[in-house]
Amino acid sequence: MKVFRFYCRYWSAIGGLLFILLAFFVGLTPDLVPTTQRLTILLFMALLFHQFEEYVFPGGFPAAANHALFGEKDDIARYPLNELSATIVNTFLAYTLYIVGIFCHNCLWLGIFIAYFTMAQVFMHFLKLNISLKSWYSPGCLSSLFIMLPMGVYYLWYIATHFAVPHYYWWGPLVAFPFVSVVMILLPILTCRSRKTTYGFAPYQAEEFDVKHGIATLWRKQS
C-alpha cells in the first residue's frame, strides 16, 4: 500500500526519469528499431515530457484542471481530480495505450489514433484551460504546443507519405476519439471523485497554480 501511495504521488517524476532513459535509447540505437516504432516511442516521450510539465515542473495542473474544467472553487487540490484518478488516467490507461502502440507499431490505425490523442492536448490546454482561466499559460500548454503538436503532425505526415493506408485509417480513429477519451479520462475521474478522498494532491500543486495563474493573469492585463 505504501508503494502504491508513493507511486500515486511521484509517478510523474518517475515518468521524467523514463523520458531520459528513452532519450538515451533512441539516440544510441538509431538502426535498432523500425521508423514507425521509433516515432511511436517519440510520441510516448512527448507524453512523458508533457506530464512532467503538468505535475512536476512547473506543476499545478491538478488545481488548474479542477478549477477551470470542472468549476471547483473549494477543494481544487482533491476534487474531482485526485492523485488516484490522475494515476489511473495518466499511467494505467495512457501508458498502456502508448506502449501497446510501440509494440504494435505496424497497426498504423492505432498509431494514427495515438497521434490524434497527442495533438488533442493543444486544444484542451489552449482552447479550454487558457480560455477558462483567462490566462496565457496553463500547466502543460507549452509542451503540448511545441512538442506534442509537431510530433503528432510529423507522425501523420510520415504515414501519409510512406504508406498507402485505407481512408478509414484516418477518419476511423477520429470518430472513435471522443468515445475513447470519455472512457480513458472522464470516466475514471468521475468514478474516483470524492471530497473525502485520502488521495488529495500535495498542497504545493494548488499553491503553484495560484502563483502561475496570478502571474499569467497579470501579464495579460499589462499587455
> How large is the average pLDDT for residues 81-108?
98
> How large is the average pLDDT for residues 105-122?
97
Q: What's the pLDDT band for 223 if we cut at 50, 70, 90?
A: very low
The CA-atom distances, in angstroms, between 206 and each of 67, 70, 197 are: 10, 15, 16
Please name the amino acid found at residue 198: T
Q: Is the pLDDT of residue 121 over 80?
A: yes
pLDDT on residue 215:
58
How far from each other are the two terminal CA atoms of the chain, in whole angstroms? 49
Q: At what angle do helices 94-103 and 35-55 cross, to 10 degrees?
A: 160
Q: Is the pLDDT of residue 29 over 50?
A: yes
